[in-house]
């Protein structure tokens, strides 16, 4: 028998180049300096986007939460009871009681701590009756305080002819009075932003004498 103890030599290893298809699936490795630059660029873009978003949120927060406005002070559902009026050639008078509700609306994102509030009845710039209708207290954020108002008034005017405006209005059947008031206080946002504000009531009221009915109520 032939001696098979001698090992046969191995064939030399041949290197086959990759096809175009294999090159597409296995791109050449990116050099480390280029990869680092790309990573740094991505980080910079992410940082800038984060800064812009946070800046926008901060601006929106400041324009809403920290924008402090004076409370709205208004008169609604007004009526006149016990209306009496008389006039002659030199004088005129209108007497009655103004009823209604006053609202004090706090649109802020902080508490409004306020003092007493008085509402007056005026005619021709003169005060002809006043009553304390809002008591000292506080209104929480985004809430409204409602109080009843009852103000006795006696409006009088003197003078002859057109110099007596009240007499002319009584003759015309409609008297126009005004109702004014204010509430002073302090608005506190997040406990450290505090600002003094005044709620102002300024309403024009038209009263039809024949029916004792308010035909127009306009509050600024």
Q: Average pLDDT across each block of 10 residues of the chain; the chain has 220 residues. List them in order.
A: 55 55 54 68 78 69 75 96 92 95 96 96 94 95 96 88 83 96 94 92 97 95
Residue 128 to residue 143: CA distance in whole angstroms: 32
Q: Which tokens sit at 76? A: 């609604």
Q: How many CA atoms lie within 13 A of 153 on its CB side?
A: 28
Report the SS3 class of residue 8: coil
Asked if 66 and 193 touch (Cβ cutoff 8 Å), the reply is: yes
Record the pTM: 0.72
List the one residue out of 161, 154, 202, 159 whose CA is nearest residue 175: 154
Residues whose CB is less than 8 angstroms from the CB of residue 143 and which lie 6 or more positions away in sequence, other chains included:
105, 106
């Amino acid at each position: 028998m032939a001696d098979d103890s001698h090992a046969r030599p191995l064939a030399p290893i041949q290197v086959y180049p990759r096809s175009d298809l294999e090159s597409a699936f296995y791109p050449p490795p990116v050099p480390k300096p280029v990869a680092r630059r790309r990573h740094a660029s991505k980080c910079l873009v992410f940082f800038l986007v984060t800064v812009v978003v946070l800046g926008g949120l901060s601006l929106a927060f400041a324009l809403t939460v920290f924008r402090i406005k004076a409370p709205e002070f208004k008169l609604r559902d007004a009526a006149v009871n016990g209306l009496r009026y008389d006039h002659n050639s030199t004088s005129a008078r209108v007497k009655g009681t103004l009823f209604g509700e006053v609202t004090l609306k706090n649109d802020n994102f902080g508490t409004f701590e306020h003092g007493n509030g008085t509402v007056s009845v005026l005619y021709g710039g003169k005060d002809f009756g006043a009553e304390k209708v809002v008591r000292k207290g506080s209104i929480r954020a985004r809430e409204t305080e409602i109080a009843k108002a009852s103000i006795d008034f006696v409006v009088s005017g003197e003078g002859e002819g057109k110099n007596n405006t009240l007499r002319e209005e009584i003759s015309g059947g409609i008297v126009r009075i005004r109702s004014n008031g204010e509430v002073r206080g302090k608005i506190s946002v997040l406990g450290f932003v505090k600002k003094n504000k005044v709620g102002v009531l300024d309403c024009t009221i038209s009263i039809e004498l024949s029916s004792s009915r308010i035909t127009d109520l306009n509050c600024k």
